[in-house]
């Protein structure tokens, strides 16, 4: 087999795997109302249906890349793909909400292994001069998967059933496994020690905090169960920070946060995902529960928001190259905050969809202006030899922002409204999405703490690609994730 043919096979296999795993971030959102009725799921169960995937993905993101470097990228890619496929089958067979949540956690752990390895496998297969184009194509696939999630989920649920959104992963995964085994080359990276203690402390601590936030809806914020979960989780997270400061090979080097730019850029990203993911969780349900649209109708009507990055992101990237990432991202955050606040105010029972389109478009433009230049903005705050771990850390942190956004905005929703009627849903939706808008507005202010670009070209280099050094560190994870 020629090198060109092998490279083409690598691109096809990694792109399909990436699209499948990233699609499952949001594909379930338009299925939530149907899942709630079919499995008699509570609000907390719906939260965990989303968060179980995102939380395990965020916690194990860097771990997957590290294992691939040590034991072989193709080998770990196959293991991650098998785990994801198994989790998808288990989710499709779920007879209860609890079963579905566990299956989603299995999916998320498999995705955390597959996603970073799709990039390193692809980068190892292409020549140095073509890696920039390969990275751009990789990011485009990830972005398309994220943005099309609600539409694909709605179409599948309406045409077949909610179980089908998980079943479709199974034949794809089973077809990719032998192809990956035969067509992908094995490769290794710099062998690093797995920070098992850090992974354990981070995963258990974050689980405790999220568990407390979710159960507070049912038990109350002052219940011993909730307080114990929140306090224990917080102590474990503090222990994680202390461990990362002491260990020689940390999964999340705390020294990076000594940079004001890195800390501010990531703080803004966490707040952005907090407001965006939490709002999507509720607004995707509102279009069905409150406005009466079908799952497919809801997915189509979210396209002005979730699909806008496909159109605007390339233009935002060009603009960022000319005037710098900082003003473009700050403007995008401001637009997203305005759009979410607008949607919170006008989302009422019986509201016609054309009246909502401008708010969706403004939010979508803001999302696009955030996604396109943010990776370069983060990487411009660290040294070249730290770009890989910085990119991975940034993506993990903002996924965690989404986890907390779903948990907290759902809590606000449950305190002010519920599923009893379209009116009660609207009563809970407004304050929750307004909180999401406020978080995104604050993120715009936090971003202004990032220092201005110090010199020409600081932010315009290819992400993680050094023409002199070749392949970036394995922890590099693209902005689409």
Task: Give the pLDDT confidence of 75-89 residue by residue, as tens digits.
Answer: 999 999 999 999 999
Average pLDDT rounded to a whole number, residues 340-353: 88
Question: Is the pLDDT assigned to residue 467 strictly greater than 50?
Answer: no
CA dist 411 to 200, 212, 225, 286, 433, Å? 27, 11, 16, 16, 11
Q: How many other CB atoms sit within 10 Å of the CB of residue 466?
A: 15
- Nearest CA to 364 out of 328, 326, 403, 332 is that of 332
- Nearest CA to 471 out of 365, 388, 366 is that of 388
The answer to whether 53 touches 402, Cβ cutoff 8 Å, is no
Residue 276: which residues within 8 A CB-CB, separation 6 or more?
336, 340, 367, 402, 405, 436, 440
User: Residues 461, 466, 471, 473: is their CA dihedral positive or negative?
Assistant: negative
Q: What is the mean pLDDT of the chain?
A: 80
Average pLDDT rounded to a whole number, residues 178-204: 80
Please tell me the predicted confidence (pLDDT) of residue 128: 63
Tokens 């009422």 appear where? 348
Q: How many other CB atoms sit within 10 Å of the CB of residue 72?
A: 17
| Domain range list for the chain | 3-184+249-447, 196-248
| Backbone Cα Rg of the chain | 21
CA dist 237 to 50, 179, 233, 476, Å? 22, 40, 6, 24
CA distance 333 to 350: 29
Range with the poorest average pLDDT among 109-118, 138-147, 358-367 = 138-147
Question: Is the pLDDT assigned to residue 384 strictly greater than 70?
Answer: no
3-184+249-447: CATH number: 1.20.1250.20
Question: Is the pLDDT assigned to residue 332 strictly greater than 60?
Answer: yes
CA distance 293 to 289: 8
CA dist 286 to 281, 301, 337, 439, 444, Å? 9, 11, 19, 20, 27
Average pLDDT rounded to a whole number, residues 314-343: 86
Average pLDDT rounded to a whole number, residues 337-355: 89
At 1, the pLDDT band (50, 70, 90 cuts) reads low
Residue 206: which residues within 8 A CB-CB, separation 6 or more?
55, 58, 59, 233, 237, 400, 403
Tokens of 118: 């799709």
Question: Is the pLDDT assigned to residue 220 strictly greater than 70?
Answer: yes
Alpha-helical regions (H) of 25-184: 32-38, 43-71, 73-92, 97-125, 131-159, 164-167, 169-183
CA distance 95 to 329: 43
Please tell me the predicted confidence (pLDDT) of residue 464: 35
CA dist 290 to 128, 298, 357, Å? 52, 11, 17
- Nearest CA to 366 out of 342, 336, 343, 338 is that of 336
- Nearest CA to 429 out of 272, 217, 287, 271 is that of 287
The answer to whether 330 touches 440, Cβ cutoff 8 Å, is no
Tokens of 223: 């219940």
Q: Which long-range contacts (CB under 8 A, 24 or more apart) does 255-263 make?
A: 256/382, 256/386, 256/389, 256/390, 256/393, 259/381, 259/382, 260/449, 260/450, 260/451, 261/380, 261/381, 261/449, 261/450, 261/451, 262/378, 262/381, 262/382, 262/390
Which residues are paired to 466 by β-bridges? 470
The answer to whether 25 touches 104, Cβ cutoff 8 Å, is no
Please tell me the predicted confidence (pLDDT) of residue 176: 92
Question: Is the pLDDT assigned to residue 408 strictly greater than 90?
Answer: no
Per-residue pLDDT tens digits for 421-448:
889 989 999 999 999 999 999 999 998 8
Q: Which long-range contacts (CB under 8 A, 24 or more apart) does 156-161 make?
A: 156/27, 156/31, 157/30, 157/31, 157/34, 157/295, 157/296, 158/294, 158/295, 158/296, 159/296
């Amino acid at each position: 087999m020629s090198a060109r043919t092998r490279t083409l096979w690598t691109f096809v296999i990694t792109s399909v795997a990436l699209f499948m795993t990233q699609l499952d971030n949001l594909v379930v959102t338009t299925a939530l109302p149907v899942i709630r009725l079919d499995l008699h799921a509570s609000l907390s169960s719906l939260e965990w249906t989303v968060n179980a995937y995102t939380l395990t993905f965020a916690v194990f993101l860097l771990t997957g890349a590290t294992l691939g470097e040590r034991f072989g990228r193709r080998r770990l890619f196959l293991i991650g793909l098998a785990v994801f496929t198994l989790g998808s089958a288990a989710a499709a067979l779920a007879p209860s909400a609890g079963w579905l949540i566990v299956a989603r956690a299995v999916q998320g752990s498999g995705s955390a292994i597959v996603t970073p390895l799709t990039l390193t496998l692809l980068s190892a297969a292409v020549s140095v001069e073509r890696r920039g184009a390969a990275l751009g194509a990789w990011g485009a696939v990830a972005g398309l998967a994220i943005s099309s999630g609600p539409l694909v989920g709605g179409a599948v649920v309406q045409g077949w059933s909610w179980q089908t959104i998980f079943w479709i992963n199974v034949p794809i995964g089973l077809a990719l496994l032998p192809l990956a085994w035969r067509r992908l080359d094995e490769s290794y990276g710099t062998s690093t020690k797995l920070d098992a203690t850090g992974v354990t402390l981070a995963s258990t601590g974050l689980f405790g905090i999220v568990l407390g936030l979710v159960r507070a809806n049912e038990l109350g914020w002052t219940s011993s169960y909730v307080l114990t979960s929140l306090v224990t989780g917080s102590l474990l997270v503090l222990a994680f920070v202390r461990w990362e400061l002491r260990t020689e090979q940390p999964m999340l080097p705390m020294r990076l946060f000594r940079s004001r730019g890195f800390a501010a850029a990531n703080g803004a990203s966490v707040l952005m995902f907090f407001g965006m993911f939490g709002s999507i969780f509720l607004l995707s349900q509102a279009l069905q529960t409150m406005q009466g649209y079908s799952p497919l109708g809801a997915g189509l009507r979210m396209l002005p928001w979730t699909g806008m990055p496909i159109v605007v992101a390339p233009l935002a990237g060009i603009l960022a190259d000319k005037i710098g990432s900082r003003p473009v991202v700050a403007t995008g955050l401001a637009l997203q905050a305005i759009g979410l606040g607008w949607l919170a105010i006008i989302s009422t029972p019986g509201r016609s969809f054309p009246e909502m389109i401008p708010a969706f478009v403004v939010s979508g433009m803001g999302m696009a202006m955030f996604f396109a230049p943010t990776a370069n903005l983060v990487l411009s705050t660290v040294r070249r030899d730290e770009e890989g771990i910085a990119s991975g850390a940034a993506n993990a942190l903002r996924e965690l922002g989404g986890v907390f956004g779903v948990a907290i905005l759902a809590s606000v929703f449950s305190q002010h409204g519920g599923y009893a009627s379209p009116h009660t849903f609207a009563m809970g939706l407004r304050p929750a999405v307004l909180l999401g808008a406020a978080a995104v507005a604050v993120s715009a202010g936090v971003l202004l703490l990032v220092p201005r670009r110090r010199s020409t070209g600081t932010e315009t280099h290819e992400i993680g690609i050094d023409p002199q050094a070749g392949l970036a560190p394995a922890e590099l994870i693209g902005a689409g994730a």
